[in-house]
Amino acid sequence: MFIFGSLVGSFLNVVIHRLPIMMERDWRAQCKLLLSLPESTEVTDQTKYNLIVPRSACPHCLKQIRNRDNIPVISYLLLHGRCRFCTVPISLRYPLIEFITAVLTAFIAWHFNFEIKAFFAVLLTWALLCLTVIDMDKQLLPDDITLPFLWLGLACSLLHIFTDPVSALLGAMLGYSILWTIFILFKFLTGKEGMGYGDFKLLAMLGAWTGWQMLPLMLLMASILGSIVGIGLMVLRKHEQGKPIPFGPYLALSGWIALLWGAEINQLYLSLI
C-alpha cells in the first residue's frame, strides 16, 4: 500500500498542477462564448490539455520526462533534485506529496485493517490532499473533486460504512448551510466576503462522509488550526494583514481526523463535561 500510494501520489501531482489550469481555460472559453468574442489564436488555448496529455515535461527546458526519471521519490533522489537535461532544481514539493500520499495510504490501510472502510477512506484521503494543495496554491476548491466525493459519501452511507443515510444527508445539508449562513452574516456586517463558496461545498462533502454529529468537531478544529496558523504567520510577518488565508486545508485536515477518530474525540469530550 505504501508503494501503491507513492504511485498515486505521482498522479496527484499532475492533478494538483493541471486541474486549475484546465479550469481557467474552460472559464476563458465560456467567457468568450458568452461575449461572442472570436476564438483564441494562442497555441496554449488550442492544444489539447488534460490530466493525461500532454506528457509531463520540465517547465524550464520543456523536454519530456523519461519514464525512468518519473519513479516516485527515487528518481528525485537519483537526479539529486535536478532536471536531467537543464539541471534546473526540481521543486521539493513533488517528492514530498508522493511520500505523504504513500504514508497516508499505508496508514489508512493499517488503521482500518484492510476492511471496506479502508478502500473508501483512501479515496477520500487522496481527494483531500489534492484539495488542500490546490487551495493553498490557487485558493480554489474544484467542484470536479468536491461534488463527486459528496455523492460518494452519500452512497457510502447507504451501506452504513462510516455513518447512516439520515446522518449523512443532514451532514451535507447542515455543512453547506452553516458556512453559507456565516458567509451571509459576515458580508452583511462588514460588506466583505469572508470565505469562498468552495468551503461550503467542502464541509457539505465532509458532512456526507462523517454525518452531522461531526460538524461541530470539524468546525472547531478547523477554526482553531486556522487561527493559530494565521496569527503565527502574521507575527512572523510571513503573511500580509488583510490578505485572505485559504480555509480549505484546515477543513480538510479536520475532516480527515474526524473520519478516523471523530467518535473517540466526541466521546472523550462528552465524558469530560
- Number of separate helices (H) and strands (E) present in the chain: 10, 0
pLDDT at 42 > cutoff 80? no
pLDDT at 109 > cutoff 90? yes
The percentage of the chain sitting over the pLDDT mark of 70, rounded to a whole number, equals 95
pLDDT at 39 > cutoff 70? yes
CA 164 to CA 138: how far, in whole Å? 34
pLDDT attached to residue 44: 62
pLDDT at 43 > cutoff 60? no
CA 67 to CA 82: how far, in whole Å? 15
The percentage of the chain sitting over the pLDDT mark of 90, rounded to a whole number, equals 65
pLDDT attached to residue 255: 97
Residue 172 near residue 205, CB atoms below 8 Å: yes
Contacts of 127 (CB under 8 A, 6+ apart): 145, 149
Q: Among 77-86, 105-114, 202-211, 247-256, name the one with the lowest average pLDDT.
A: 77-86
At 119, list the grid cell: 478502500
pLDDT attached to residue 171: 97
Please, what is the angle between helix 116-138 and helix 2-34, to 10°?
Answer: 50
pLDDT attached to residue 46: 59
Domains in the chain: boundaries = 1-111, 114-273
Residue 247 near residue 195, CB atoms below 8 Å: yes
Burial 124-134 (b: 16+ CB within 10 A, else e): bbbbbbbbbbb
pLDDT at 230 > cutoff 60? yes
Burial 156-169 (b: 16+ CB within 10 A, else e): bbeeebbbebebbb
Q: How confident is the model over 160-193, as pLDDT tens digits?
A: 999 999 999 999 999 999 999 999 998 999 888 8
